[in-house]
Amino acid sequence: MLKWLSEKMTKFLNKHRDVQGTPLCDFSMLRFEIRPGDVVLVEGRTRIGDVIKAITLSRWTHAALFIGRISDLEDQETRRYVESHYPGPQNEQLVIESLLGSGTIVSPLTKYQFDNLRVCRPKDISPQDVQAVIKTASQYLGSTYDMRHIFDLARFLVPYWFIPSRWRSTLFDYKAGDVTRTICSTAIVEAFASNQYPVLPVIQRTEEGYYRWSRRNPKLFTPNDFDISPYFDIIKYPFLGDEKSIYKKLPWDETGVICNDETECFTPDGLEKKDNTARKGKKGKQ
């Protein structure tokens, strides 16, 4: 009964909404420029994504580690291990990610071609360390997704003293090396941290005036932390707007219509609303 209920809940939370409109990210440019070791942030279209948005107050609901193609993996052991978890084409661009219901898996990058994406690139990381990060992340393949962490993060937002002791989170019961359960950010954070690359470290100043760096609990990380980390560059590939002068050539609507979204547009005086679908016949208008 519990297994059946868990499967139903997972299916409910993983249900995707249909793609609405055109993503702001140019996926063809992104897949051409992306490098192994980059972290791909995804604005998800699932119910679990909506939960993460509400908890983190961020649009980024998922993080995946880009590992390139199987032929890009220099370590033979890592290559064989990734191959054992991905029976698809050898020339496919791949990511390692943790998903509710699937655990930590290898997926093709193209599965996110219709989503809004952002690339976070670790600054000045050496090629050797990139391969080390990928090797560490691959060790999480096959681990299960810990849904408990989602609720832990939600409860973490409530003052600790306010929560009855029996409800208090096990968020800080962290055991180093425990890879049996993870969430989307944990495996990636651990992969970087185990190779001494910071994401959002805890920096403390001692009484002597020195600075001491400590690793932050990996269970506290969310996808948005890669976006705000000063150790990652934000790489954007805007739709029809990658060149510096392209904004002068964008096909702006010439009628002065303002839109709330792709389905609801109105004139500036707010008196006349228009269905955007009725305007699709005007080539080049958005």
CB of 181 closer than 8 Å to CB of 150 = no
- What is the share, in percent, of the chain residues with pLDDT greater than 70? 67
Q: What is the pLDDT of residue 178?
A: 47
The least confident of 58-67, 143-152, 155-164, 218-227 is 155-164
Q: What is the pLDDT of residue 3?
A: 55
Provide mean pLDDT across the span 197-202.
92
Q: What is the pLDDT of residue 182?
A: 57
pLDDT digit string (tens) for 94-143? 999 988 767 889 999 999 998 889 999 999 999 999 999 999 999 989 88
Q: How confident is the model at residue 282 (pLDDT cuts 50, 70, 90)?
A: very low
CB of 214 closer than 8 Å to CB of 204 = yes
Reported residue count of the chain is: 286
Chain centroid, CA 155 distance in Å: 22
| Mean pLDDT taken over the chain | 78
Enumerate the β-bridge partners of residue 119: 40, 235
pTM for the whole structure: 0.76
All domains of the chain in start order, with CATH = 2-235 (3.90.1720.10), 251-279 (no CATH)
Q: What is the pLDDT of residue 10?
A: 56
Bigger pLDDT: 34 or 271? 34
In the DSSP assignment, the letter for residue 79 is H
pLDDT digit string (tens) for 78-93? 999 999 999 889 899 9
Bigger pLDDT: 148 or 75? 75
Q: What is the pLDDT of residue 125?
A: 96
Enumerate the β-bridge partners of residue 25: 238
Identity (one letter) of the amino acid at 263?
T
CB of 226 closer than 8 Å to CB of 37 = no
How many Cβ atoms are within 10 Å of 187's Cβ, its own excluded? 25
CB of 58 closer than 8 Å to CB of 224 = yes
Q: How confident is the model at residue 1 (pLDDT cuts 50, 70, 90)?
A: low
d(CA 79, CA 88) in angstroms, rounded, equals: 13
d(CA 251, CA 228) in angstroms, rounded, equals: 32
d(CA 197, CA 227) in angstroms, rounded, equals: 15
**Coil vs helix vs strand at 250:** coil
| Of 21, 27, 38, nearest in space to 240 by CA | 27
CB of 283 closer than 8 Å to CB of 41 = no
Q: What is the pLDDT of residue 184?
A: 64
pLDDT digit string (tens) for 7-20? 555 556 556 666 66
253 pLDDT exceeds 90? Answer: no
